[in-house]
DNA sequence: ATTTTTATGATATTTTTTTCACATATTATC
DNA sequence: GATAATATGTGAAAAAAATATCATAAAAAT
């Protein structure tokens, strides 16, 4: 298994190469990618080597081939079903951001909330009562969840998800969580991102 | 200037220590922090050493003292004004998430949008027309912006912000941007976060 | 056909990050 | 007050990550 940093770069390569392709480019050199992402060309080539992406000497790399390989590495052959727990401001934004996720093989299949005003089982992406969460996960073999409940409900929600044997959680609450044996937890903390940005600007 | 990783850890220490403090704890050992965050105790101590956070031998560290020092390092003595460009789903969620940012010395002072239905200069946090963006930044000495416009408007928005000499940008669009001489750009890509999570679950 | 050019891919080197190990100081105990 | 216990702080060691170097292959030019 590769490092998180390497996978990050892989995702960045992908995004950049999609852009290049849409501009009509067919081939690309490690140098071009390096410049675009602000890293060294040898790191690009090393990454490609690790992932089994080969180019031709003098001719560079075929964009189409790289992209295929990246999708394969990321396991994008199968669609991943995801649920959202806490359909408030952030949760709704994500729920409605269909096209962006769909085209990456990520399908948000349902939301869960305690607020009766938010619950709507008939919507295109249904929003159910949280009381149904555990059973829904079991019945539909859900492996991934996004957590965007208020802080106060975070711990409880996490426990339920773990009990239901969810494999991966994207956590938007500030409750910082460690991976467990079974569940990988990825924390997004927007306040941290801002604070870090401010730090680097101030210490530039 | 410290590495991004070290600043990340600093922010994690902060979050964890706030939690500990709210539980009534006064002191903490590097071991406790290490366990909570899943890192080694020596790394915690090394970080503290780098940041000039000192404990007492046998007695550990005073939580209050660490937190003070962290706030000092992060420059939390002054409130930072931030604007949001693109007050759609994500932008609105951030705009309304006042308390979370305010208590960290991050103050969202205005939003900007092209949609007349969204513009509301009289709101608690006013939302202005994008045509006023450049002048607003100049007049109010704004240093930071969050960008949550659609992809199609991303490049243009970035150019305007750079032209207005913004120092830091938190970018939610998938357009991947490099830092420039003057402007530090931090990219949040939720799709990437999900893809990475899926990768690590599949290759666990 | 030969030479030149140049980008890859592999290896070596350097840099950065993390961990180890232990002397030292400080608190608690006897 | 002496002794024991133990967590810090630091310098050395190890590990990991990134970069530099260069032989080689393949395309282009002559
Ligand atoms: N909005 C932001 O910009 C922002 C920024 C940073 C972090 N966050 C964090 O993200 C999380 C969500 O933020 P938000 O602004 O969307 O909050 P919100 O209050 O708008 O939404 C929370 C939703 O969760 C629902 N909920 C409450 N308890 C629940 C439970 N037990 N099970 C299921 N649903 C439950 C509520 O009914 C509500 O719909 C919070 O933890 C917040 O701290 C938000
Ligand atoms: N919503 C999500 O969950 C999500 C997830 C990942 C990435 N993103 C990205 O975040 C960005 C915003 O997403 P969203 O869902 O909030 O979109 P949205 O369409 O809800 O909001 C975009 C807002 O920007 C405004 N706008 C358009 N052109 C503008 C301009 N030139 N200047 C100022 N404002 C302008 C629109 O009027 C609208 O209010 C997009 O780039 C999207 O790809 C969103």
Element of type H or E holding B146: strand B144-147
In the listed set B54, B72, B90, which residue is the last one of a domain according to the structure?
B72
Q: Are residues A10 and A41 in the same domain?
A: yes
**Tell me: the pLDDT tens digits for B157-179?**
999 999 999 999 999 999 888 88
Place of tokens 């679950």: B201
Task: Write the CA distances from A78 to A103, A105, A187, integer angstroms.
Answer: 12, 7, 24
Q: Are residues B66 and B111 in the same domain?
A: no
A157 lines ligand 1 (CB under 6 A): yes
Q: Are residues A60 and A136 in the same domain?
A: no
A150 lines ligand 1 (CB under 6 A): yes
Counting from 1 in the atom list of ligand 1, the atom nearest the Cα of B94 is: 3
Q: What per-residue confidence (pLDDT) applies to B196? A: 96
Please state, rounded to an integer, the average pLDDT across all residues of chain B: 95
Domain limits at A30?
4-72
Q: What per-residue confidence (pLDDT) applies to A179? A: 85
Q: Which nucleotide is nearest to B55 (CA to C1')?
A: D8
As a whole number, mean pLDDT of residues A42-64 equals 95
Q: Please give the Cα distance from B12 to B67 (Å, whole number).
A: 11
Helix extents (H) in chain B? 4-22, 30-37, 41-51, 63-73, 89-96, 98-102, 133-140, 151-163, 190-202
Of A170, A190, A191, the CB nearest to B197: A170
Q: Model's pTM, two decimal places?
A: 0.95
Q: Are residues A164 and A92 in the same domain?
A: yes
Q: Are residues B149 and B119 in the same domain?
A: yes
What CATH number has the domain bearing residue B32?
1.10.10.10
Q: What per-residue confidence (pLDDT) applies to B157? A: 97
Q: B75 to chain A: nearest residue by CA?
A: A199
**Does some domain include residue A169?**
yes
| Nearest by Cα to B48 from B22, B35, B67, B76 | B67
Q: Are residues B140 and B88 in the same domain?
A: yes
- Sign of the torsion formed by the C-alpha atoms of B155, B156, B159 and B161: negative
Q: Are residues B57 and B93 in the same domain?
A: no
User: Nearest C-alpha to atom 25 of ligand 2 is from which residue?
Assistant: B86
**Tell me: the pLDDT tens digits for A3-27?**
999 999 999 999 999 999 999 999 9
Residue A177: is its pLDDT beyond 90? no
Q: Please give the Cα distance from B167 to A199 (Å, whole number).
A: 11
**Does some domain include residue B43?**
yes
pLDDT band at A49 (very low <50, low <70, confident <90, very high): very high
In degrees and rounded to multiples of 5, residue B27 shows phi and psi of -120, 165
Q: Are residues B35 and B91 in the same domain?
A: no
Q: Taking CB atoms and an 8 Å limit, are B80 and A203 in contact across chains?
A: no
Q: Are residues B60 and B115 in the same domain?
A: no
What CATH number has the domain bearing residue B188?
3.40.50.720
Residue in B15, B96, B97, B193 to alter for ligand 1 test, most ligand atoms within 8 A of Cβ: B97
Does strand C come within 7 Å of the CB of B58? yes
Helix extents (H) in A58-132? 63-73, 89-96, 98-102
Q: Please give the Cα distance from B41 to A35 (Å, whole number).
A: 37
Q: What per-residue confidence (pLDDT) applies to A180? A: 85
Place of tokens 């998800």: A161
> Which of helix, strand or coil describes residue B52?
coil
**Radius of gyration of chain B measured on its C-alpha atoms:** 20
**Tell me: the pLDDT tens digits for A111-141?**
999 999 999 999 999 999 999 999 999 999 9
**Does some domain include residue A50?**
yes
**Does some domain include residue A114?**
yes
In the listed set B72, B106, B132, which residue is the last one of a domain according to the structure?
B72
**Does some domain include residue B204?**
no
Q: Are residues B144 and B178 in the same domain?
A: yes
Total count of domains within chain B = 2
**Does some domain include residue B122?**
yes
**The CA-based dihedral angle spanning residues A174, A179, A185, A191, taken in that order and rounded to the nearest 10 degrees:** 30
Q: Are residues B127 and B172 in the same domain?
A: yes
**Tell me: the pLDDT tens digits for B95-135?**
999 889 999 999 999 999 999 999 999 999 999 999 999 99
B58–chain A Cβ distance below 8 A for any pair:
no
**Does some domain include residue A201?**
no
**Does some domain include residue B201?**
no
Q: Are residues A61 and A131 in the same domain?
A: no
In the listed set A43, A72, A101, which residue is the last one of a domain according to the structure?
A72
pLDDT band at B32 (very low <50, low <70, confident <90, very high): very high
């Amino acid at each position: 298994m590769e490092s998180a940093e390497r996978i990050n770069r892989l995702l960045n390569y992908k995004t950049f190469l999609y852009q290049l392709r849409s501009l009509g480019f067919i081939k690309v050199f490690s140098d071009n990618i390096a410049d675009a992402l602000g890293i060294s060309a040898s790191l690009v080539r090393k990454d490609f080597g690790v992932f089994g992406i080969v180019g031709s000497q003098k001719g560079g790399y075929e964009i189409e081939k790289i992209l295929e390989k990246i999708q394969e590495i990321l396991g994008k052959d199968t669609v991943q079903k995801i649920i959202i727990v806490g359909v408030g401001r952030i949760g709704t934004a994500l729920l409605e951001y269909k096209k962006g996720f769909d085209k990456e093989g990520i399908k948000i299949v349902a939301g869960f909330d305690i607020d009766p005003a938010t619950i709507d089982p008939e919507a295109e992406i249904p929003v159910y009562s949280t009381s149904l969460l555990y059973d829904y996960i079991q019945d539909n073999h859900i492996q991934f969840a996004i957590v965007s409940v208020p802080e106060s409900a975070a711990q409880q929600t996490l426990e339920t998800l773990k009990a239901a044997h969810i494999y991966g959680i994207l956590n938007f609450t500030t409750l910082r969580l460690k991976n467990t044996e079974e569940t990988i937890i990825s924390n997004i903390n927007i306040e941290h991102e801002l604070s870090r940005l401010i730090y680097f600007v101030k210490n530039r």
